[in-house]
Each structure stands twice: as C-alpha cells, then as structure tokens.
C-alpha cells in the first residue's frame, strides 16, 4: 500500500442529514496562529465580505486583500452543478462558520457539499494541495464488488476526462445504470484555479486513495483543498434525477499526509 499518512484525526459515525448548515469539515492550520484585532485578522474579515458578495454570480472567486506582510489570499468555489441561490447560501454559511471555527488561524479551510472556501497569508493559487483530506463513506458495502468496481472505474475515467476540458471548469459528472433498479452517480470537481494537468493530478490522487476508505462502499466522498470526488447509488447532483435520496449511515475520516 503506497498511501502513508501521519495522523487519522477523527473517526465517527453520523446519521445523514443532521444539520444543513454544518460543514462537512474544516481545517485550521495550527502553525499559523495570529492574534485577533491585528491587521491580518481585519484583512481576513474584509476578504470574506468580498468573497460572500462576489462568488455566487460566477461560482468562483480567487482574490487577494491587503499588502506586504498583511496580504491575504482567498479562494471560494461552488460545485459547478449547484444553482446561484444554493451557491449563495452555502458561501454565506462558509464565510460565517470559518471565522468561528478557525478564529486565530491565518490558514483556514471549510468544506460543504455545495461549496468550498479557503484563505491564507501564503499564496496557494494554482497549486495542487492534497495534504489534508476528508473521507466520507457509506458504511454499507456493495454486494458484487467485482462488477461494481469495474463500472465505477469506467465512470470515473469518463468524468475525469470531462473535468479537464477547459470549458467544463473542472466539473465532471455522470451516471451508469448497473441494473434496472440500481444506478451509480458520480461527480468530480477541481478548483478553477488549477491547470488541466493539476486538475488531473488532484483527481488521480483522490481516486488512487479510494482503496483506503472507499473500497467496495456503496458511496464515498473525498474532499481535498484542490478537488472533490463523490459517488453514490442515489442521485445527488443537479439536475436531480429524481427525489429519492440516500438515507445512510456515513463514517468520516480526516487524514493528514
Ligand atoms: C503568515 O502568518 C504567520 C503567522 O503570523 C507567519 O508566521 C508567517 O510568516 C506568514 N507567512 C507569510 C508568507 O507572510
Ligand atoms: C464492509 O466491509 C468492511 C471491510 O471489509 C467491513 O469492515 C465492514 O464491517 C462492512 N460493512 C458492513 C455494514 O457489513
Ligand atoms: C418527488 O416526490 C413527490 C412526492 O413525494 C412526487 O409527487 C414528485 O413527482 C417527485 N418528483 C420527481 C421529479 O420525481
């Protein structure tokens, strides 16, 4: 097994659909503690206001605020398939929650299903970052792993190829009918600051880490700072195929590499 990781941060079971506004995860870099009330902290607040305002219209903002040692870089992005309204709600939640959850860190990141937000005093635009990952997986296993993995692999290849076409803006999604009663849905999304090569690289790292936590699972999500990968046996991306959703027990693991 090639995958090496230093710490598995937490592991718990949760019931799907607990609270809508709860993020899927967050990362506060403890090596970047700053006092509140400083210029840097004020600049973070300023850039978050700008992000909340500007992200919904295009679904993506990468911007800076301030100068010299107080310069802040921020990136916010909604998943390419969500509506402007869902994007706006998600970004509002993200900009509020991140300051509560990372009050003293200058490198903060927060993940939701519909959006992702990150800021730092260090430039990170265009860089693939898979140093911190969150995995969510369905605790149930598929009954026919061999066939399932073949179909999943083929679908993933297809949508990864889609995501690196420039006009797709890092989004790939699709479905595969496994039987009259079972359809597999999958989606990948890179942050839009990445080049095609970097997007492909991030998605490849995510998919190559499937065996660690997603193996034979009925559903799985990999959340990185540069890309998002998810598959489920129920519709979850827009336009929604139908309104059946997945009531399922999900486990979460956070991994530092
Ligand atoms: C970012 O802020 C941290 C904490 O104040 C500081 O240690 C670090 O040198 C800063 N990095 C840059 C690139 O300014
Ligand atoms: C699914 O498979 C994993 C690994 O083989 C096992 O640990 C787990 O208990 C299985 N889950 C269920 C619900 O049977
Ligand atoms: C969604 O569910 C409702 C009732 O539960 C049903 O009337 C409606 O047709 C469903 N819509 C779709 C698109 O399946």
Least distant ligand from the CA of 35: 1
Looking at residue 35, its pLDDT comes to 83
Q: How many CB atoms lie within 10 A of CB 3?
A: 12
Residue 249 CB less than 6 A away from ligand 2: no
CA-nearest residue for atom 5, ligand 3, is: 243
For domain 19-120, give the CATH superfamily. Answer: Gnk2 domain, C-X8-C-X2-C motif (3.30.430.20)
Mean pLDDT by 10 residues, the chain (257 residues): 45 44 93 91 98 98 97 98 98 97 96 98 98 96 97 98 96 96 96 98 98 96 98 95 76 90
Looking at residue 37, its pLDDT comes to 87
CA 94 – CA 115 distance, rounded (Å): 8
Domain 133-256, CATH among 1.20.120.330, 3.30.750.24, 3.30.430.20, 3.40.30.10: 3.30.430.20
Query: Which ligand 2 atom lies nearest to the CA of residue 140?
Result: 13
Atom of ligand 1 nearest to the CA of 120: 1
The whole-number pLDDT of residue 247 equals 61
126's CB contacts (< 8 A; 6+ apart) are: 193, 194, 195, 198
**Which ranges of the chain would DSSP assign to H, the alpha helix?**
39-58, 84-101, 145-163, 196-208, 210-213
Q: Are 128 and 225 in contact (CB under 8 A)?
A: no
pTM: 0.90
The residue whose CB lies within 8 Å of the most ligand 2 atoms, and thus the one to mutate among 11, 13, 135, 141, is 141
């Amino acid at each position: 097994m090639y995958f090496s990781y230093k710490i598995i941060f937490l592991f718990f079971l949760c019931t799907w659909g607990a609270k809508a506004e709860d993020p899927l995860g967050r990362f506060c870099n403890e090596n970047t503690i700053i006092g509140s009330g400083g210029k840097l902290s004020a600049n973070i607040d300023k850039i978050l206001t700008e992000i909340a305002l500007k992200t919904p219209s295009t679904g993506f903002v990468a911007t800076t605020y301030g100068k010299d040692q107080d310069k802040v870089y921020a990136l916010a992005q909604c998943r390419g398939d969500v509506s402007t309204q869902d994007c706006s709600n998600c970004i509002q939640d993200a900009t509020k929650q991140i300051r509560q959850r990372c009050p003293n860190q200058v490198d903060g990141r927060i993940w939701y299903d519909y959006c992702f937000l990150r800021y730092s005093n260090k430039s990170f635009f265009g860089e693939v970052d898979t140093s911190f990952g969150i995995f969510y997986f369905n605790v149930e296993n598929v009954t026919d792993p061999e066939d399932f993995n073949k179909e999943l692999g083929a679908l993933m290849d297809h949508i990864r190829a889609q995501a690196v076409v420039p006009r797709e803006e890092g989004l790939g999604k699709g479905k595969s009918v496994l039987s009259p009663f079972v359809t597999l849905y999958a989606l990948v999304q890179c942050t839009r600051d990445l080049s095609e090569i970097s997007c492909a690289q991030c998605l490849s790292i995510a998919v190559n880490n499937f065996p660690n936590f997603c193996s034979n699972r009925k559903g799985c999500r990999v959340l990185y700072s540069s890309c998002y990968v998810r598959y489920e046996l129920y519709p979850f991306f827009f336009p929604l195929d139908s309104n059946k959703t997945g009531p399922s027990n999900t486990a979460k693991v956070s991994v530092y590499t």
